[in-house]
Amino acid sequence: AQKITQTQPGMFVQEKEAVTLDCTYDTSDPSYGLFWYKQPSSGEMIFLIYQGSYDQQNATEGRYSLNFQKARKSANLVISASQLGDSAMYFCAMRPYNTGGFKTIFGAGTRLFVKA
């Protein structure tokens, strides 16, 4: 069965510091994609970053990077130099490419609070 686990319901970080949001996943599919989304209070879902299971390097997009540890089945999101606008809900998601109906499943989310 496919599963995404985000164990941190809420996180606080001081402005300008880095923060890591945890995500672990479970799949038997050797080929899959991992995604992170941001959902601010406005409700829109914003795609942040993608990591493919066969990618050799960790994905980076500006201040976002994905700490991909395949053997541990973890895909933690690292936000560097936090800004007040980073306060939002963050969702980790996975999409298996060969099994599980190929549909994307989401974790329960982590609410990030950035303090001034």
Partner 1 sequence: GAGVSQSPSNKVTEKGKDVELRCDPISGHTALYWYRQSLGQGLEFLIYFQGNSAPDKSGLPSDRFSAERTGGSVSTLTIQRTQQEDSAVYLCASSTSQGAGFFGQGTRLTVV
CA dist., res. 30 & res. 70, Å (int):
10
Alpha carbon 92 to chain centroid distance?
4
**Choice between 43 and 85, CB closer to partner 1:** 43
Please tell me whether residue 106 binds partner 1 under the rule CB under 8 A: yes
Min dist. Cβ of residue 43 to partner 1 (A): 6
Residue appearing with tokens 């299971």: 53
Which residues touch 52 (CB under 8 Å, ≥6 apart)?
Answer: 32, 33, 34
Please tell me whether residue 44 binds partner 1 under the rule CB under 8 A: yes
**Choice between 12 and 102, CB closer to partner 1:** 102
Please tell me whether residue 38 binds partner 1 under the rule CB under 8 A: no
Identify the residue among 25, 68, 90, 91 touching partner 1 (CB under 8 A). 91
Please tell me whether residue 61 binds partner 1 under the rule CB under 8 A: no
**Amino acid found at 50:** Y
Q: Is 101 exposed, middle or buried (0-12, 13-18, 19+ CB in 10 A)?
A: exposed
Which residues are near partner 1 by CB under 8 A?
A: 33, 35, 37, 43-45, 47, 50, 91, 93, 95, 97, 101-109
